[in-house]
Structure 1
C-alpha cells in the first residue's frame, strides 16, 4: 500500500512543480533561471518530506533507515521522471531560450576577441546539438541528488525523533 501512496505523492509533487514552473514562466514571464526556482525546489522538498513523514506515522518502532529512505526514494524517482519529461518538452516548445543562450555566448566570444567568426558559428552549432541532452542530464542529476539528500536527512531526523 505504501508503494501506491508514494507513487501518488510523487505524481502530486511533480505535477505541482510543473504547474509552478509553467506559472512562473508563462504567467509571471520570469526567466527559467530565476529566484522562482526556489519555490519549485521547496515544493520538491515538501513532497519528499510529506511522503517520508506519512510513512513514519504508520511505521513500526523498529523500522530501519532504509525503509524510511525508500519511502522518499519512491516519491523522488517519480518526480525526477516527470521533471525530465517536462524539461525535454519545455525546451522543444521554447527554442527561443536556446537561441538567447547562443546569442549571449556569441557576444561573449566576440568581446574576448580571440575567436574567428567561423569558430563562433561552429560553437553555436555544437551548442544547438548538445543543449537538450545537456539540460536533461543536469535535470536528472540535480533532482536525483537533491531527492536522495532530502530523503536521507528526513529519514535521519524521523529516526532521531522516534528514538527519543
Structure 2
C-alpha cells in the first residue's frame, strides 16, 4: 500500500485557516491594531511552514534532500500568501469595511502622540493611507509572508530528517 503524501496546498490551507481564525479573534476583541499581538501571526506562519517541511520529510520516510524539503515549504508559503492576500482584500472591501477606518484612527492617534507632524500633515497622511490601504496591505502581506516563508522553509529543511537513497546504488546481495 502506497503512502499518501499531503500536498503543499493541503498544508497551506490548514495554516491559512489558523491565521484567519487568529485574525478574526484579534478583530472581534478589538485588538487588531495591537502591534505585539499582530506579530504573533508571523510566528504562526513560520511555525506552520516548519511543521509542513518536517511532515513532508516524514511522509517521504526521509528520502528527501534539503532542496526538496525547502521547495515544499516555499510552495506552501506561496499558497498561504496568496490565500491570505485574497482574504484580506475580501475582508477589507466587503466583510469588515470599518477595519480601514479603525486602522486609520489608530494611525492618527500614533501620529498625534509622536507630536512630530502638524494636524494638516496628519490629515494628508491619513487620506493617502486610506486611499492606498488595500494595495499596501496586499503587497505587504505577499512580501513579508514570502520573506518569512523562505526563513521557515530554510529552518524546516534543516530540521527535517533526511536520508536520501541513491537511485543508482546496486542492491546489496
Same fold? TM cut 0.5: yes
Residue 48 of structure 1 corresponds to which residue in structure 2?
Answer: 49
Residue 136 of structure 1 corresponds to which residue in structure 2?
Answer: 138
Stretches of structure 1 lacking an aligned partner (at least 5 in a row):
none
Give the Cα separation in 2 of the matches to 1:36 and 1:120: 25
The two structures, once aligned, show a CA RMSD in angstroms of: 2.8
In the superposition, the TM-score normalised over structure 1's length comes to: 0.77
Contact 2:16 2:83 in 1 (8 A): yes
Residue 154 of structure 1 corresponds to which residue in structure 2?
Answer: 156
Contact 1:102 1:127 in 2 (8 A): no
- The SS at the match of 1:35 is helix
Choose between structure 1 and 2 for higher RCO, CA contacts under 8 A separated by at least 6 residues.
Answer: 2
1:76 aligns with 2:77: yes
Give the Cα separation in 2 of the matches to 1:61 and 1:108: 54
**Whose helix fraction is larger, Structure 1's or Structure 2's?**
1
Give a deviation string over 1:35-89, Cα, whole Å, max 9, x none: 3334433332232122211211133656322111111112111111122122223
In the superposition, the TM-score normalised over structure 2's length comes to: 0.73
1:96 aligns with 2:101: yes
Residue 12 of structure 1 corresponds to which residue in structure 2?
Answer: 14
Give the Cα separation in 1 of the matches to 2:63 and 2:85: 36
Contact 1:83 1:139 in 2 (8 A): yes
Contact 1:98 1:131 in 2 (8 A): no
What is the count of residue pairs matched by the alignment?
A: 157
Residue 170 of structure 2 corresponds to which residue in structure 1?
Answer: none
